[in-house]
Amino acid sequence: MSGPSFFQTHMGHRFVEGTVPQLVRELQRLNGNLERLVATAELLAGQKQSSGAEPVARTPGDSEGR
């Protein structure tokens, strides 16, 4: 292929200098969000397991706020 390499063109320069860094920032942001989501899910799963309470069967006559 003759001519300049991709990184030497205007579009290549824009890609390397603008698009790639933006992609890296967005991937870092996504990773941070996923880490927080996993931590929250683990916390909620731990709370459900530690409650240890069995579900209570209700009868039609129960009057708990209904």
In eight-state DSSP terms, residue 57 is P
pLDDT at 47: 86
Give dist(CA 37, CA 30) in Å, integer: 10
Structure tokens at 65: 């706020």
Report yes or no: 24 and 16 within 8 Å, Cβ to Cβ. Answer: no
**What's the whole-model pTM score?**
0.62
What residue ranges do the domains of the chain occupy? 26-50
CB-CB contact of 16 with 7 (8 Å): yes
- The per-residue pLDDT for 62 is 62
The CA R_g of the chain, rounded to the nearest whole Å, is 27
What's the confidence (pLDDT) of residue 60? 67
HSE-up of 63 (CA within 13 Å, CB side)? 0
Across the 66 residues of the chain, what is the mean pLDDT of every consecutive 10-residue run?
90 96 98 97 88 64 57
